[in-house]
Structure 1
Amino acid sequence: MYSTHQFIAECYFASRPEMCPYPFQLKTTTTVACSRSFQEDRIWLNGKEEDINQPRLQSCLREIRRLARKRRSDGEGGVDLAGLSHKVHICSVNNFPTAAGLASSAAGYACLVYTLARVMGVEGELSAVARQGSGSACRSMYGGFVQWIMGQREDGKDSVAQQVEPETHWPELRILVLVVSAERKPVGSTSGMQTSVETSSLLKHRSDSVVPARMKEMIDAVHRKDFAAFAELTMKDSNQFHAICLDTYPPIFYLNDVSRHIINLVHHYNQHYREARVAYTFDAGPNAVIYTLQQHVDEFLQVVKHFFPPETNGGQFVKGLPVASTTLTEELRQAIGMEPMVKGISYIISTKAGPGPCIVEEPSQHLLGSDGLPKESA
């Protein structure tokens, strides 16, 4: 016999599964099993076995096991002793592009740490553990709007995430993920940031002067549900991040021509209405995350379809939350004034902010079979 748990943990822009009051357009699903019959720790990611000895993964495993041993030595009840001595099998699947600048590592490590903690009886603050796998994973341990607090210690152990507002705070806020490329990015987020720390003079200015003030402004904008302020801060911060990438030596190019066309499209659209109706942000990749309000979703998606016409291959271009069909006016089309870019966007995911990790209780949905190996469907 072995114990098994499975959870859903999302990216910062994701939502939930059916058993929670949210759909799940973007998710990481992870099942963890431990058994005395397992000879070694093993992990499968998106159907392929990966190296369990990857340093960041090992760091998370060691820390969860350390916390489990400490809880047992402190005499706290509820500790699953099997998790302390038996090897673990981990199976994880993303339903969105991996390592393509859509926070797959954040979702993956948050899901992994939360699941391991449940299997091994660990409770309490886990964002600091998730951060050891991926910095942004600490934010994915909570739902809604989350900030990452730097902390005071040099070793970063007091660097944790804190929820600013729950996912129910701003129900009108909608998110559109424009998938430009599902390919693995040429420069990873961690290695890219390390190079920027070593070579970019702009990065120190950003961390010392820009981020502290901008965080206060962003938190205030979220509290007040002020979309205009939220949109401007979001786009300016995205722009500055990629300016630092260019200031890195050698420079890092996460954005491509399609990304830049999306940026222009957003600004032309907002200029037409003389207000910020949509906002873009790009992480370490070419894929755009668009924020807007519910009343503008249908029209803006029609704009995207016109200027980035989908391929006629029968595939679903807009996935996720339903979007109504509407007509693009000639006035708006001319105001934007761009030439259409065929095959620029592969597909779009329509979603909204969601809560934190959610348990999948139904065994038929677990990714590992009774033998502790991935099911064929996983």
Structure 2
Amino acid sequence: MSDDNTVKTTMVTCTAPVNIAVIKYWGKRNEELILPINSSLSVTLHQDQLKTTTTVATSRSFEEDRIWLNGKEEDITHPRLQSCLREIRRLARKRRNKTNPDLDVAGLSHKVHICSINNFPTAAGLASSAAGFFTHLLVCLVWKGSLLVEVCMGDLSSGSWVNEMMNLTGLNSESFADRKPIGSTSGMQTSVKTSLLLKLRAECVVSKRMEDMIEAVCQKDFSTFAGLTMKDSNQFHATCLDTYPPIFYLNSVSQQIINVVHKYNEHYGETRVAYTFDAGPNAVIFTLEQHVPEFVQVIKHVFPSESNGGKFIKGLQVDDTILSEELKQCIGLEPMLNKISYIISTKVGPGPRVVEDHSEHLLGSDGMPKKTQ
């Protein structure tokens, strides 16, 4: 928070995690209210490796709402963003009227400046719905809607339900930084209109699969968790193919990773590793911590990389190991050189956080992005 003699700027910075859906939703039954066609279940990843940082400021000196994403100013008149801003203002007023009549909502009439950066590529199928939602939560914080913040924070998944169960490795293909050929919003809308499989999935499959997944998580049954995760990923992409015209999110590298996972599990006679793909070509791999070094070595064997001078394995340290000749023979796939740019090794982690250090604000006291961003 910064002041001069006449103008007061209220500012807050928060970080939010990426999440990965293991039971996925695709399509909305109500576009205006953003109500999904079916339930979903996600794992929240650790912010030490993957996070969004957002600063929001309000001041009566601001002439218009403005937003900057990853260093570029975006059009804040986008209908979804405007709808969100209206809803946040409505919720803040509702909280004041119903639960906290003394809540200061004077800033509701002020314009907002929002600045957000990711430490991961966007628009490439790496889910960040928690991060996106938290941008809107920040507006609540700026308007001092403390009771609303408590409610919203409670609604976000913390990921603790798998915190002691597994580690996660993300495999990022050569197209990782490219935008998806078809955005999720338009893809969902087309699927809802044309896919019979989507309707069948929502009505007959997901509810039982959710029950089984929750039971597997509660029992720390990795094998069941892994099988359900892969089956749900496969069905989601089958739904995309059942859309007319069909939507292709997976590429040849994605398909090869799927083959690697199944051959690896077949070699050991048990499900040690699981894959899932959101609306993009990039694999997310779940496995128990003790299997991470070997499976990463398998990926390096099948997808050798010259790394172009960069670091091939990012995030958590992964120990080197030597693959047995028997395992190599079982995998038996032709190497695909330089098809994976890098691997992010991470684990599950906590939900959104408020950044207390004001020096980490992305906006300066004038409400504009700092030059270092």
For the aligned pair, the TM-score class normalised by the smaller chain equals 0.7 to 0.9
Aligned alpha-carbon RMSD (Å): 2.0
Question: Conserved in 1, the CA contact under 8 Å of 2:14 and 2:352?
Answer: yes
Correspondence for 2:114:
90
Give, in angstroms, the shift of residue 376 of structure 1: 1.9
Correspondence for 2:89:
65
> Are residues 1:182 and 2:177 paired?
yes
1:157-208 deviations in Å (ceiling 9; x for gaps)? xxxxxxxxx35x5424111111112211011111101100100010111001
The equivalent position to 1:112 in structure 2, one of 112, 135, 138, is 135
The equivalent position to 1:242 in structure 2, one of 225, 237, 244, is 237
**Whole-angstrom distance in 1 between the partners of 2:361 and 2:70:** 14
Question: Conserved in 2, the CA contact under 8 Å of 1:42 and 1:88?
Answer: yes
Question: Conserved in 1, the CA contact under 8 Å of 2:227 and 2:274?
Answer: yes
**Whole-angstrom distance in 2 between the partners of 1:367 and 1:80:** 24
> Are residues 1:3 and 2:18 paired?
no
**Whole-angstrom distance in 2 between the partners of 1:238 and 1:300:** 20
Give, in angstroms, the shift of residue 363 of structure 1: 1.4
Counterpart of 2:118, as a letter, is: N
Alignment gaps of 5+ in structure 1 = 18-23, 131-137, 145-165
1:30-55 deviations in Å (ceiling 9; x for gaps)? 00000111000000000000010111
**Whole-angstrom distance in 1 between the partners of 2:89 and 2:216:** 40
* Same amino acid, percent of matched pairs: 62
Correspondence for 2:54:
30
Correspondence for 2:297:
302
The 1:278–1:127 alpha-carbon spacing in structure 2 relative to 1, beyond 3 Å, is: farther
Give, in angstroms, the shift of residue 80 of structure 1: 3.7
| TM-score scaled by length of structure 1 | 0.86
> Are residues 1:55 and 2:50 paired?
no
> Are residues 1:39 and 2:63 paired?
yes
Give, in angstroms, the shift of residue 125 of structure 1: 6.4
**Whole-angstrom distance in 1 between the partners of 2:139 and 2:102:** 14
The 1:238–1:126 alpha-carbon spacing in structure 2 relative to 1, beyond 3 Å, is: farther
Alignment gaps of 5+ in structure 2 = 1-7, 20-42
Question: What is the aligned residue count?
Answer: 341
| TM-score scaled by length of structure 2 | 0.87
Provide the secondary structure at the position in 1 that maps to 2:181. Answer: coil
Q: Which runs of 4+ in 1 moved over 6 A?
A: 125-130
The equivalent position to 2:310 in structure 1, one of 294, 307, 315, is 315
Give, in angstroms, the shift of residue 56 of structure 1: 1.2
Question: Conserved in 2, the CA contact under 8 Å of 1:64 and 1:122?
Answer: no
Provide the secondary structure at the position in 1 that maps to 2:308. Answer: coil
Give, in angstroms, the shift of residue 68 of structure 1: 1.6
**Whole-angstrom distance in 2 between the partners of 1:363 and 1:233:** 43
Give, in angstroms, the shift of residue 311 of structure 1: 2.2
Greater RCO, 1 or 2 (C-alpha within 8 Å, sep 6+): 2
Give, in angstroms, the shift of residue 321 of structure 1: 1.1
